[in-house]
Structure 1
């Protein structure tokens, strides 16, 4: 069973790598990103899209963790307030 899981995981990784490679090869047109007057050097579209994906994959969990910690602190504060009022 473990070998089957490893084989499926390897197949998934190879398939994902093939899709990314196909995407990169199909999007070789160069573009220049202009943001608030700042102009980035011309790079292929695939580089910008993959960079946005990686940044989103990094920022998303960080924001989720921040929200989770903030929610926990609100629960603790509420519990502390309830203990002080005796409810």
Structure 2
């Protein structure tokens, strides 16, 4: 069973890598992005899309962790307030 899970994981990773390679090979057109007057150098569409994916994968968990910490802080503050109002 353990070997089957490993084999399926390896197969999934190989399929994912093949899809990424296929995507990169199919999207070689160069584009230049302009944002607020700043112009990025021309590069393939695939590079920009994959860079946006990586940035999103990094920022998403950071925002989630921030929200979790903020929620815990609010809970602690409300518990502290309740304890002070009871005494």
TM-score bracket, normalised by the shorter chain, equals over 0.9
Query: Which 5+ residue runs of structure 1 have no aligned equivalent?
Result: none
Report the counterpart of residue 60 of structure 1 in structure 2. Answer: 60
Deviation at 1:65, TM superposition (A): 0.1
Query: Which 5+ residue runs of structure 2 have no aligned equivalent?
Result: none
Report the counterpart of residue 49 of structure 1 in structure 2. Answer: 49
Report the counterpart of residue 18 of structure 2 in structure 1. Answer: 18
2:19 matched to 1:4? no
Q: SS of the counterpart of 2:53?
A: helix
TM-score by length of 1: 0.98
Separation in 2 of the partners of 1:19 and 1:78?
A: 49
Aligned CA-pair RMSD: 0.9
Separation in 1 of the partners of 2:8 and 2:37?
A: 47
Separation in 2 of the partners of 1:86 and 1:27?
A: 65
Deviation at 1:70, TM superposition (A): 0.3
Separation in 1 of the partners of 2:27 and 2:79?
A: 54
Q: SS of the counterpart of 2:15?
A: helix
Structure 1 residue ranges, 4+ long, deviating more than 6 angstroms after superposition: none
TM-score by length of 2: 0.98
